[in-house]
């Protein structure tokens, strides 16, 4: 690894890969309620925890309490999520909406950014953001939408995270506004370095420039990364 890689690590904004990365990458592991708490996380491994719309059994008032009083207060937890809306899964949509609204309030109370799983509910999400006027920033992960969709979301103040498959114009729009992140999500054997290479080619910029910019952005978007002393 080069000194630059250590100074400006790759940022994996959303991963379900259980392994810790090496010193060249900073990872935000997306955990569900039932997964082990990241007590063993050290170095550049951090976590986000939330109520995923797929886990219908987790969408309860007790889970919200557990999140607020225990899980989200862990120092290695730097975001709430993934939370979200999914019109394709079997969890009743009204139930998803109720708990998503609760998580939005929770993220604001705890000053945590929100990581969002979104499937075929973009208009609802945009409406909700207008209505709720959250002060915490919202990041839609795994964004594969077309530039028109990206434009609508960027106009509404969203951040977008891109993985293995993305629309290059959408990435360019988000990156140009300082609101793009990159991720590996749950794709086996996908390295964040390869997602960065793909993105830097698509954007026509150097890997170094991309790494430096996204790392600086991550320190602002996930303020708890700095609370951890910056000594990771």
List Cβ neighbours of 83 (8 Å cut-off, separation of 6 or more).
Answer: 50, 51, 52, 53, 99, 100, 103, 104, 114, 115, 116, 117
Distance CA(80)–CA(161), nearest Å, equals 15
How near is the Cβ of 52 to Zn ion at its closest, in Å? 8
List Cβ neighbours of 161 (8 Å cut-off, separation of 6 or more).
Answer: 13, 14, 115, 139, 140, 141, 142, 143, 180, 181, 182, 183
Q: Closer CB to Zn ion, residue 140 or residue 180?
A: 140
How near is the Cβ of 7 to Zn ion at its closest, in Å? 28
Q: Closer CB to Zn ion, residue 58 or residue 185?
A: 185
Q: Closer CB to Zn ion, residue 164 or residue 213?
A: 164
How near is the Cβ of 16 to Zn ion at its closest, in Å? 6
Q: Closer CB to Zn ion, residue 185 or residue 198?
A: 185
- Coil, strand or helix at 116: strand
Q: To the nearest 10°, report the CA torsion of 15, 16, 18, 24.
A: -10
How near is the Cβ of 219 to Zn ion at its closest, in Å? 22
Distance of CA 83 to the CA centre of its chain: 10
Helix (H) or strand (E) holding 224: helix 224-227
How near is the Cβ of 38 to Zn ion at its closest, in Å? 16
Q: Closer CB to Zn ion, residue 30 or residue 63?
A: 30
Q: Closer CB to Zn ion, residue 8 or residue 159?
A: 159
Q: Using an 8 Å Cβ cutoff, are 69 and 81 in contact?
A: no
Q: Site residues (CB under 5 A) for Zn ion?
A: 30, 185
How near is the Cβ of 186 to Zn ion at its closest, in Å? 6
Q: How far is CA 206 from CA 111, 201, 203, in A?
A: 33, 8, 9
Q: Closer CB to Zn ion, residue 102 or residue 185?
A: 185
How near is the Cβ of 125 to Zn ion at its closest, in Å? 16
Alpha helices in 87-180 (DSSP H): 93-110, 122-132, 147-155, 168-176
């Amino acid at each position: 690894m080069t000194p630059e890689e250590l100074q400006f690590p790759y940022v994996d904004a959303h991963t379900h890969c259980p392994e810790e990365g090496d010193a060249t990458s900073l990872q935000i592991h997306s955990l569900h309620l039932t997964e082990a708490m990241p007590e063993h996380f050290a170095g550049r491994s951090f976590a986000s925890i939330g109520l995923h719309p797929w886990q219908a059994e987790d969408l309860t008032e007790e889970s919200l309490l557990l999140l607020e009083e225990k899980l989200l207060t862990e120092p290695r937890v730097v975001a709430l999520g993934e939370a979200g809306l999914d019109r394709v899964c079997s969890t009743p949509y009204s139930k998803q909406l109720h708990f998503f609204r609760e998580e939005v309030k929770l993220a604001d109370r705890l000053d945590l950014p929100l990581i969002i799983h979104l499937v075929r509910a973009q208009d609802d999400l945009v409406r909700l953001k207008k209505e709720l006027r959250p002060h915490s920033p919202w990041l839609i992960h795994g964004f594969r939408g077309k530039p028109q969709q990206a434009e609508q979301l960027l106009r509404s103040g969203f951040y977008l995270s891109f993985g293995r498959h993305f629309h290059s114009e959408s990435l360019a729009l988000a990156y140009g506004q300082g609101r793009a992140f990159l991720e590996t999500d749950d794709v086996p054997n996908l390295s964040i370095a390869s997602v960065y290479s793909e993105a830097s080619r698509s954007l026509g910029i150097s890997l170094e420039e991309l790494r430096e910019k996204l790392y600086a952005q991550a320190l602002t978007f996930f303020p708890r990364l700095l609370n951890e002393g910056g000594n990771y």
